[in-house]
């Protein structure tokens, strides 16, 4: 049979079977190569929407990032992203002695590669002003050149408004990133004006390794969309501990009607997003709840334990059918106090046989700066 190339190699050494040899003095050490594949992040559909993994805040050598744009494509593909934006700074180009300043260039260089990789490339930029107000990302933009670069309040406003006239989706970046600067983490007039002028559509509630909980409240109270993004400058593999199964770059989960640029834009405009930072989820309550319900499944009781005193305890299996992470703490009911649901895992919980439901805080989620998602699990 032709498949059995190694017939008879019963006691062959490990090395011999791991190396390829071209018969002309070359050995190829494929076993040392990293296997290259696209991660298929498992998140079930949520109310009929596909959950798309999107990062709309990344940098390259065309501003202050450390990599050529193709690395962002390569990373996004391997990490299973559905959509990506390069958002190099308009106003901050520290490599300009070596790299020609060209604000559309990152996008142009990536168009074909992302298309081949089945990644939706959204054109974007980062409008980078003093803090406050700080930085704004504009995605779905038109021409990225010609943005006003001054430092006055009027110039700042003009830059953001230009993005708005391009029908961009605009979000305020990492509002809490400079805790020492007064006004940097407040709902200031400048932002309020943008919001009222329909020139602000979302806020980065999570940026990289920081969660801006106050921004979550603003999103809810002002009707803005909750965003999460990596703001990656270095290599994703450098910053994130990807050896932990639950660690992914920070991103926005977008619940879209279809996996297209337009489908994503519709969902962003409608606010159907959850910011995802490895163990943490932050978003509007209805979105976080829908996501939780799609991912976590409580099975009917499989066993009744009768203890020495005649008391009966029912046992249940709770399954996480997703690559998300959830941590629960009981709030009402006398069942299992704490449940950690690693990606694609299950746990046992128990409660007295008479208990009909348990109420848990999902402490790995935020639906307000001071509030976790609360879920009532009916026991059968």
With CB under 8 A, what is the number of residues at the site for a second copy? 111
Nearer to a second copy, 43 or 163 (CB): 43
Q: Which of 196, 331, 338, 380 binds a second copy (CB under 8 A)?
A: 338
Q: Which of 48, 100, 182, 309 binds a second copy (CB under 8 A)?
A: 100
Q: Which of 298, 317, 333, 374 binds a second copy (CB under 8 A)?
A: 317
Cis omega (within 30 of 0) on the bond before 132? yes
Q: Which of 45, 115, 221, 331 binds a second copy (CB under 8 A)?
A: 115
Residue 7 binds to a second copy (criterion: CB under 8 A):
yes
Q: Which of 89, 105, 272, 289 binds a second copy (CB under 8 A)?
A: 105
Q: Are 93 and 262 in contact (CB under 8 A)?
A: no
Q: Are 104 and 143 in contact (CB under 8 A)?
A: yes
Q: Are 251 and 53 in contact (CB under 8 A)?
A: yes
Q: Build a one-symbol-per-residue string for 137-156: x at contacts with a second copy by CB under 8 A, - elsewhere.
A: --------------------
Residue 42 binds to a second copy (criterion: CB under 8 A):
yes
Tokens, residue 204: 């980065």
Q: Residue 46's Cα: distance from chain center in Å? A: 16
Tokens, residue 263: 């489908």
Instruction: Return the ∠ at Cα 168 (arms to 160 and 286), rounded to 5°.
Output: 105
Instruction: Return the ∠ at Cα 134 (arms to 129 and 136), rounded to 5°.
Output: 85
Q: Which of 196, 302, 312, 380 binds a second copy (CB under 8 A)?
A: 302
Interactions with a second copy, residue window 211-250 (CB under 8 A): 211-214, 234-235, 237-244, 247
Nearer to a second copy, 265 or 371 (CB): 371
Q: Are 173 and 202 in contact (CB under 8 A)?
A: no
Q: Single out the segment in contact with a second copy by CB under 8 A; choices: 37-45, 147-155, 223-231, 264-272.
A: 37-45
Q: What count of other Cβ atoms lies within 10 Å of the Cβ of residue 239?
A: 16
Interactions with a second copy, residue window 242-301 (CB under 8 A): 242-244, 247, 277-280, 299
Interactions with a second copy, residue window 43-82 (CB under 8 A): 61-62, 65-68, 70-71, 74, 80
Q: Considering the complex, what minimum distance in angstroms separates the CB of residue 179 from a second copy?
A: 6
Q: Are 267 and 287 in contact (CB under 8 A)?
A: no
Nearest to 250 by CA among 214, 221, 281, 224: 281
Q: Single out the segment in contact with a second copy by CB under 8 A; choices: 148-156, 161-169, 284-292, 322-330.
A: 322-330
Q: Build a one-symbol-per-residue string for 163-192: x at contacts with a second copy by CB under 8 A, - elsewhere.
A: -------------x--x-----x-------
Distance from C-alpha of 111 to C-alpha of 70, rounded to nearest angstrom? 10
Nearest to 284 by CA among 222, 354, 209: 222
Q: Considering the complex, what minimum distance in angstroms separates the CB of residue 172 from a second copy?
A: 15
Cis omega (within 30 of 0) on the bond before 133? yes
């Amino acid at each position: 049979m032709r498949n059995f190339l190694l017939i008879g190699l019963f006691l062959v050494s490990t090395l011999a079977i791991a190396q390829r040899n071209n018969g002309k003095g070359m050995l190829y050490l494929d076993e040392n190569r990293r296997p290259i594949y696209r991660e298929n992040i498992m998140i079930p559909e949520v109310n009929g929407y596909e959950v798309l993994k999107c990062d709309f805040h990344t940098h390259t050598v065309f501003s202050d990032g450390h990599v050529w744009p193709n690395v962002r494509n390569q990373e996004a593909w391997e990490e299973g992203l559905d959509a990506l934006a390069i958002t190099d700074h308009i106003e901050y180009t520290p490599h300009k002695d070596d790299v020609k300043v060209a604000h559309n260039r990152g996008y142009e260089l990536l168009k074909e590669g992302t298309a081949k990789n089945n990644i939706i490339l959204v054109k974007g930029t980062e409008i980078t002003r003093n803090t406050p107000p700080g930085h704004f990302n504009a995605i779905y933009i038109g021409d990225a050149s010609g943005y006003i670069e001054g430092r006055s309040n009027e110039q700042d406003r003009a830059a953001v408004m230009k993005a708005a006239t391009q029908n961009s989706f605009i979000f305020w970046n990492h509002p809490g990133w400079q805790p020492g600067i007064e006004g940097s983490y407040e709902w200031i007039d400048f932002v309020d004006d943008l919001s009222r002028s329909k020139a602000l559509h979302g806020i980065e509630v999570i940026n990289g390794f920081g969660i801006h909980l106050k921004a979550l409240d603003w999103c809810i109270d002002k009707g803005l969309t909750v965003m999460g993004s990596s703001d990656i400058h270095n290599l994703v593999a450098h910053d994130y501990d990807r050896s932990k199964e639950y660690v992914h770059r920070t991103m926005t989960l977008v619940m879209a009607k279809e996996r297209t640029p337009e489908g994503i834009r519709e969902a962003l405009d409608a606010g159907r997003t959850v910011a995802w930072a490895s163990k943490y989820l932050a978003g509007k309550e209805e979105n976080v709840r829908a996501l939780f319900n799609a991912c976590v499944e409580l099975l009917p009781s499989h066993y009744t334990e009768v203890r020495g005193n005649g008391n009966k305890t029912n046992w249940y299996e709770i399954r996480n059918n997703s690559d998300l992470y959830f941590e629960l703490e009981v709030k009402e009911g006398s069942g299992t106090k704490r449940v950690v649901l690693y990606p694609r895992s299950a746990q046992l919980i128990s409660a007295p046989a008479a208990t009909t439901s348990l109420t848990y805080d999902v402490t790995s989620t935020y639906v307000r700066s001071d509030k976790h998602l609360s879920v009532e699990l009916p026991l059968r």
